[in-house]
Chain A
Amino acid sequence: MTTDRSRRDRPRALPVPALLLASVAVAFFSLPLLGLLWRAPWSALRTVLGRPEVRTALRLSLQTSLLAALISVVFGVPLAWLLARVEFPGRSIVRALATLSMVLPPVVGGVALFASFGRRGLFGQYLDRWFGIRLPFTTAGVVVAQAFVAMPFLVLTVEAAIRQLDGRVEEAARTLGAGRWYTFSRVTLPSIRTALVAGAVLAWARALGEFGATITFAGNFPGRTQTLPLATYLALETDPDEAILIALLLIAVSFGVLVGLRDRWLGAAVPGRSKQVPS
């Protein structure tokens, strides 16, 4: 880490080709946003954002995406650790499975969720028969759809971080008498804190923007399953101006969190050293 820092601190002449290409990338990312800002009917801002259905969708989006991110952390971190640290047969298959939903078109993911967790699904039929639990068309279904597409982002990020850790430090802790859990929580986890936060934020952002799997599996009902992306999509059908404003609201929320988190957690954090307390 020290070499990395000293290298970063030394000023250098900027390589022009890289700068040019990077500018194209920045323009590519920012132009669509500029387009939205340019098209937005600002005079209608207060009317649209004040609408109860928009606020309901925003609240639902925040609740479900945070829950999906939490689920991703709870189940994703152990999986990431397993993939990084434990040799077992079929590990590459498990890894492929764990990241499959990243490459699946979300709609296909939604169909797969029907086939598995639907009322007539492979597993869902027993959920319904034995426990009376139905996921399609419920808020829980939204969280399931979001977690399904979001968790791989956390798993991949955290697994990469654990792999980069020097395994000998963990081994040393173990030989000094620390148990598996103690080693993980006191040695491994603090060292990957940055990656963990980054992975959780990525998963959250992906969950917040989830559309295809949600509308397929959870349907669309205001207050129950209509998240902001769904509200945006349906508004686009009749009132593109309103859709643009809702889209900007979604972007503002994500952008605010991403910028805020980067400064607080990711930008300044030096892995494994100073303990930063979130305020």
Chain B
Amino acid sequence: MQPIRRSLLALVLAVGAVAGCGGSDDGDGITVFAAASLTEAFGAIGAAFTAEHPSTPVTFNFAASSELATQVIEGAPADVLASADLANMSRVTDAGAAAGAPAVFATNHSTIVVGAGNPHGITTIEDLADPALVIVICAPQVPCGSYAAEIFDRSGVSVTPDSYEQNVKAVVTKVALGEADAGIAYETDVRVADEQVDSVTLPSDLDVTAQYPIAVTTASAAPEAAQEFVDFVTSAEGQSILASFGFTAP
């Protein structure tokens, strides 16, 4: 029951991200809005960054990239935005809310996430078409949802999910809780929730690669510190932290 309990906690944190927007722009700190799938990796990057820049504490707001993009466009106090897709970053640049061209700093791979030990013996994307299975994917607005739609599209399999979740962590958590049988998530998320879920790797023709762009916002009150953070993410040290969480280089 321990993993279940941990999943419940994770669920509180994942959905809590919905409510927890904003953050403070007081002092010298910066606020980084980052895709939910970056939660663990950016947590580690934030710690390493602050160790090097003690005067620049970093506050994170993790949520679906689509939600973050809307918040940034609406003037949320973010200094940096890291999205899990190019489309939502484009919304931000089109709205003139990003300073400079966004840089892609990482890529990630979509995968089928199943319960630990794969109790339903799911091996291919076709298996997800079984109506007896409870399938959850991200909402189409959310990057992981558009990636999932592309995977289903490419494979020609008609999958009717039971729920369109608001971010990728919610997908993984519902599978980890055993409330859903399978979902589409990122490999990095499965790796983080290692004990509770397994992944079924997709064949290369269905492997939709997620691109992660990062940019400083025009609204940033501390653009220099924000740029330092972006530089740190793209630096060798930042990249090796990302790699340790399973992200691949762009």
Residues of A within 8 A of B (CB): 105, 107-108, 110-111, 114-115, 118-120, 134, 136-137, 212, 215-216, 218-222, 225-226, 233-234, 236-238, 240
Q: Which of A118, A220, A222, A240 contacts B177 (CB 8 A)?
A: A118
Answer whether residue B15 sits at the interface, using C-beta atoms and an 8 A cutoff: yes
User: How many A-B contacts are there with CB distance less than 8 Å?
Assistant: 89
Which residues of the other chain, B, contact A107 by a CB distance below 8 angstroms?
12, 15-16, 18-19
Which residues of the other chain, B, contact A136 by a CB distance below 8 angstroms?
134, 174, 179
Check if B166 sits within 8 Å of A120, measured CB to CB: no
Answer whether residue B193 sits at the interface, using C-beta atoms and an 8 A cutoff: no
Say whether, besides A107-B12, A234-B166, A120 and B177 are in contact (CB < 8 Å).
yes
Residue of B nearest to A108 (CB): B12
Residue of A nearest to B12 (CB): A111
Answer whether residue B4 sits at the interface, using C-beta atoms and an 8 A cutoff: yes
Check if B19 sits within 8 Å of A105, measured CB to CB: yes
The segment out of B38-46, B64-72, B227-235, B241-249 that lies at the interface is: B64-72
Which residues of the other chain, A, contact B136 by a CB distance below 8 angstroms?
137, 219
Residues of B within 8 A of A (CB): 4, 8, 11-12, 15-16, 18-19, 64, 66-67, 69-70, 73-74, 91, 134, 136, 139, 141-142, 161-166, 174, 177-180
Tell me the interface secondary structure of chain A in the complex: helix
Check if B177 sits within 8 Å of A114, measured CB to CB: yes
Most buried by B among A110, A220, A225: A220
Which residues of the other chain, A, contact B11 by a CB distance below 8 angstroms?
110-111, 114, 216
15 further A-B contacts with Cβ under 8 Å, apart from A222-B164, A237-B66, are A105-B19, A107-B15, A110-B11, A118-B179, A136-B134, A137-B179, A212-B19, A220-B164, A225-B163, A233-B166, A234-B164, A237-B69, A237-B139, A240-B70, A240-B73
5 inter-chain pairs at a CB distance below 8 angstroms, sorted by A residue, are: A107-B18, A118-B178, A220-B164, A237-B139, A240-B70
